Amino acid sequence: MTGNHEKDTFLSLYFHIPFCTKKCPYCHFYVTKHTPDLEKQLVTSFVKELSQNKGKIGDREIPSIYFGGGTPSKLSIPSLKNILDAIYDTCTNVLDDVEITLEANPEDLDLEYLKSLKEIGINRLSVGVQSLDDHSLQTIQRLHTAKETIEGIQNAKHAGITNISIDLMYDLPNQSLESFARTLCEVKKLPITHLSLYNLVIEENSAYFRRKERIEKTMPKDVVSAAMLKMAIDTFEGIGLIRYEISAFAKDGLLSKHNTGYWLGRDFIGIGPSAFSYMNKSRYKNINNLKKYMQLISNDSSAVDFEEKLEEAHHVRELFLVELRMLKGVDINKYKLPESFHNELSKKIDEKLLERVGDRVRLTKSGTLFYDGIASDLI
């Protein structure tokens, strides 16, 4: 699937594995320490929550399954196999070419573990690389070295996992253009098919947020940040990683099926503590506490503690703006939007932030830099 075609019958599955050895200072997601006993209980809860959702899933086609976190690579092979078996028992229409992604930390990419992942059906890895410069890795308190990362990704290739994505960050504290260039030089050598690039944003509920002013003083200036982004885009395109969304690059048309679903407004069910779901124009979120989550599920109760029915006019604007993140743009006739919205779009076109190409509206090069502001104005 290239992201050009989306079916109403599609439904994706997301599993939130909240385990981390330690929480990174920039992370604002719900995570907790891993123990074998908690892992066993979590898997039992996953299987049960999946069963609770059997009616919603019905015979819908499943194009993607995503294990996110946290650190899903903390799960043992038997645990992952139990979850996958439960998915195939519950879902009657998992597509033959389903994309099954596991997020992994570089320090977990042992060759035997990776071979076992391939055997049980994991066909895509998303590796939290963040940097290939050891000084930057130490600054953001990652537990792996650049050398371990490179070896781990090569192990994945040797294990037969050919669809490998990595996450990279820039705008890190004390990061220079030269150190970022070293990371990009190493990226060129990796056997990857996909890459997501993020600048550091200091979010609430992260350790960095408590020291926000001090951290921001150590981050690259705007002119350096812009140079980093340009250098990254040029480097990626030079090795065939084509930008298809503001933060995402893919080789050979291997777009992320799962993330493309988010951008195209596909329904998805989130399983696990703090997991979001989106179905039938409503948004849901599970409780943000592992023990309470497991207790609710074991009592045959719903773990949902937030639900929002999206008002139609706002929902349509939101769908348009999320799809606008994709560089191919949005078919102007796809959504029923009021005249006032079209007038606002025209203003953004006049400002050279958007452009009209046939029936599509898309971000210009400058528009990709100011997407958040554009979305804020148009919502």
Cα separation, 156 vs 193, in Å, equals 12
CA angle 183, 188, 193 (to 5 degrees): 115
Helix (H) / strand (E) element for 315: namely helix 312-323
Q: What is the DSSP letter of 286?
A: E
* pTM beyond cutoff 0.85: yes
- For 83-115, write each residue's pLDDT tens digit: 999 999 999 999 999 999 999 999 999 999 999
What is the three-class DSSP state of 130? strand
Tokens of 281: 């124009």
| b/e map 6-32, b = 16+ CB within 10 Å | beeebbbbbbbbbbbeebbbbbbbbbe
Q: What is the DSSP letter of 211?
A: G
Q: Nearest-CA neighbor of 48 among 307, 305, 299?
A: 299
Check residue 209 and give its pLDDT. Answer: 94
Cα separation, 126 vs 167, in Å, equals 7
Q: Nearest-CA neighbor of 271 among 8, 24, 72, 21?
A: 72
Check residue 37 and give its pLDDT. Answer: 98
Domain boundaries, the chain: 11-263, 312-378
Cα separation, 1 vs 78, in Å, equals 30
Q: Tell me the residue type at 337.
A: L
Judge contact between 161 and 123, C-beta under 8 A: yes
Cα separation, 104 vs 143, in Å, equals 13
Q: Hey, which CATH number is domain 11-263, 3.40.50.2300, 3.90.1150.10, 3.20.20.70, 3.40.470.10?
A: 3.20.20.70
Residues with pLDDT less than 50, the chain? 1-5
- For 2-41, write each residue's pLDDT tens digit: 334 467 899 999 999 999 998 899 998 889 999 999 999 9
Q: Match 């001090």 to its residue by tokens.
A: 214
Tokens of 57: 């899933």
